[in-house]
Amino acid sequence: MKLPALVAAIGLLAAPAQAQTTSPTPPISLGELEQLALHNNPTAAAAAAGIEAARGRTRQAGAWPNPVIGYSGEEFKRGDVDTRGEHGFFVAQTITLGGKLRLSRDVFQKSIERAEAVRDLQRLRILSSVRQTFYSVLLTERRIEVQERLAALASEAVGVTAQLFNVGAADRPDYLEIEIESRRLQLQLNRSKNDLFASRHQLAALTGVREVAARPLAGSIDAAIPELERDQVIRTLLEQSPAVRTARAELEQTRAVTARARRETYPDLFLRGGSAYNRERGEDTGRPIGWEGTLEAGISVPLFNRNTGAIAAARAEETRAQAEVTRLELSLQSRAVSQFASYLTALRASESYRSEILPRAEEAYRLYLTRYREMAAAYPQVLVAQRTLFEMSNEYLESLNEAWRAALRLQGLLAGDGLEAPAAAVEGGEMPGIGRGGER
């Protein structure tokens, strides 16, 4: 649906604007702003770093425990030199059995998938926030244009009323009323200019480039508002939302943790071997016995620690993650329905204001103003008509703004704020029931 400009929809506000001077800075398009935001927004870098961190933890989780190399000695004492005794070295190694290292890698492999979903969610947040702020700036600029025109009309009415008051054709209360209205419109205009300043700097913060706040935007609020269909929006949201993907990846990760916790008590093999020089002299030869080899082997026995606490915690985390997936799906569906209702209401309202309400309000104001100048109507009637036109203009712009915002939020899959910190792929760097690779 193509929405014509507000200044083209109502004749009063369609007075030819003065030619604008050429800006030394070229306008920046929405696509350029999106690329700047994806490149400079710190949350995008943080989300990408989360993937690298998850990959590093995955490699670490599959690492073997480090061997122990040391010195061994027996049968020696302080003081006089003892010709007996053994001195040597040993190497000890723990061999993890039962596929525990593989299961640990599986846990953190799932964290990579979760981190990738977090990255996609953050990119969507950034793009959605940039688009919403972009159109918010355009709409505020349009509101300022309308308010400047209305303020000029009010100022003109003040001059007309002053002339009529000077010749005795208008009362002082009429003059005071029009002055009050003129100043009220000026206050509204100042507020809109402050809103524009804030929106532009918000856009600069999202893109990470300060100069964006001062650059003109290449776009129009009159661009076609996307046509959305409710069932399709909800279906797309549940199927493609990175937030749901993140929750599902977390669920798979907790299931991997449960499998790893169950295998934790599987025995590990301990090997120790070495060589020692035996200085004790043999009875037959009378010389030192010399180098002798040693070998020890053993397995861990799950007698006192069966990892039951970690297994229970892992099961509880799995139940929590499953509930979170369901909760998130229901929440997104509820928010989508509510947001779509706002979108549809605002869209229909903007159409009604544009085609029916504003033309009538403008005509009424014109007629009352003409009759007032001909001294055929009291100023309060002009004031009411002018205030109605102003309020209807603002309501039209608000409905247009709400329609844009709701449509962009739905297209952005209700991702959230582009400056919100991305979630960590693994809270604290570990999951219940497992430790870091190479440790017990």
Give the tens place of pLDDT for each residue, 421-437.
Answer: 887 644 433 444 454 44
Residue 187 lies inside a defined structural domain of this protein? yes
Q: What is the pLDDT of residue 77?
A: 63
Count of CB atoms situated within 10 Å of the CB of 167: 7
Q: What is the pLDDT of residue 198?
A: 95
Total domains in the chain come to: 1
Mean pLDDT, residues 297-305 taken together = 88
Q: What is the pLDDT of residue 38?
A: 94
Amino acid 427 reads: E
Residue 360 lies inside a defined structural domain of this protein? yes
Residue 2 lies inside a defined structural domain of this protein? no
In terms of residue numbers, what domain contains 375? Answer: 34-63+101-265+309-429
The answer, yes or no, to whether residue 175 has pLDDT greater than 80, is no
Residue 80 lies inside a defined structural domain of this protein? no
The secondary structure of residue 415, as a DSSP letter, is -
- Positive or negative CA dihedral for 234, 240, 241, 244? positive
Q: What is the pLDDT of residue 433?
A: 47
Q: Read off the CATH number of the domain in which 382 is found.
A: 1.20.1600.10
The answer, yes or no, to whether residue 440 has pLDDT greater than 90, is no
Residue 19 lies inside a defined structural domain of this protein? no
Question: Which candidate, 263, 264, 259, places its Cα nearest to that of 317?
Answer: 259
Per-residue pLDDT reduced to its tens digit, 241-290:
999 999 999 999 999 999 999 998 889 999 999 988 887 777 777 788 78
Residue 357 lies inside a defined structural domain of this protein? yes
Percent of the chain with pLDDT over 70: 87
Residue 371 lies inside a defined structural domain of this protein? yes
Per-residue pLDDT reduced to its tens digit, 116-171:
999 999 999 999 999 999 999 999 999 898 888 888 877 877 887 777 777 776 67
Q: What is the pLDDT of residue 271?
A: 93
Mean pLDDT, residues 287-296 taken together = 85
Q: Which residues contact 301 (CB under 8 A, 6 or more apart)?
A: 267
The answer, yes or no, to whether residue 35 has pLDDT greater than 60, is yes
Mean pLDDT, residues 79-107 taken together = 82
- Contact between 18 and 241 under an 8 Å Cβ cutoff? The reply is no
With 0-12 CB in 10 A as exposed, 13-18 as middle and 19+ as buried, what is 42? exposed
d(CA 309, CA 307): 6
Residue 379 lies inside a defined structural domain of this protein? yes
Mean pLDDT, rounded, of the chain: 83
The answer, yes or no, to whether residue 383 has pLDDT greater than 60, is yes
Q: What is the pLDDT of residue 9?
A: 36
Per-residue pLDDT reduced to its tens digit, 338-364:
999 999 999 999 889 988 999 999 899
